[in-house]
Structure 1
């Protein structure tokens, strides 16, 4: 009797595992344009309601992101001539087109929220930052408060209490009116730049390659606002 051939069985291979997502780097090396910042911050703002029980968040910011987001500074930057060739005798200042991070003041943000009964506001905000970094494949420090350790504190001459002069000056009504650089479409996130004078002071201390051009733009903006104030105030009275 002929031997019956054995049926051969083909075992299906298990489905390939999805490639493991690379961990996010601690430092963001990706250059962020003005348009990218708007997209990133708009997404970031959508995470805030669930972390802050529906309350909006206001951050005081400084650094390169302010130069790109501020409409007045951005307009002035667009008027600058392009960089001159390296062999040209006439040197023009570098015009900032990108930044790698959004610097914000956390120490006073955390204190403010602690007084409102939210002691872990920093952790909640960092959770939003991490999710945003994952969404856009950014380094974890795309938004950070690393500079807080170097920012000055002051004593109130009336009470003797310690306070944050940069944060306090930024939230004065006139500065909020003139230097709010971002408001999200959902109204959950507002970024207010530090005052131009503090911006210049901080840039003079750091003084990296973008800072000379940034300082010139900030001073030009102050002059423009000063002239507008004088015009609105009317002619001088004896």
Structure 2
């Protein structure tokens, strides 16, 4: 079964919009885990627009207490700054089970593309090696059709398929036009010894079709849609609905 890691960034967005501690990111993450989620994902950005460094430390403690995966996403090339110690420092201090490398810049509203593996290979290889040395499994963000030879040469354990284009195709009514490229890329990664994760704009509506159409997806990271749906149906119920979809029910 594909496992579900819940991205709790949007809880932090809501909290930060008002200041203070509510809604509490750790309490929300605990509710997701109590409902059966297999792990928690965060993407702390240098501008601290949502998840902050203190959230990362607190969620590391929570996920250790639950013995579940903690997945930290981020751009390893972004330098440290006030309030953001840097991606490697956060990983070294919290030792997440998985570090997911994403090529996003400060100006991006959200992650919207994978790495150019041929161009970024030398730098990625260095970052992947450093993260693996502290015990992290390393995943790298990849577009459908990306160069899997170069991705594998980085030393990464997994790719995470950027599924935004699939979600757009699904919403337009023709997901089958998009799925073969994702399946081909997944199979190419697997043939080179890498596992496959997926994430971005996956929802209850489109998740089942994606999982059915793409080979052996190990993990999905879902945040924006899940938190939005939970506003209507509640967090625990929504997490359980996603688990049912992943279980084929």
Same fold (TM over 0.5): no
TM-score range, shorter chain: under 0.3
Give the greater-gyration-radius structure (CA).
1
Q: TM-score, normalised by structure 1?
A: 0.28
| Greater share of residues in strand | 2
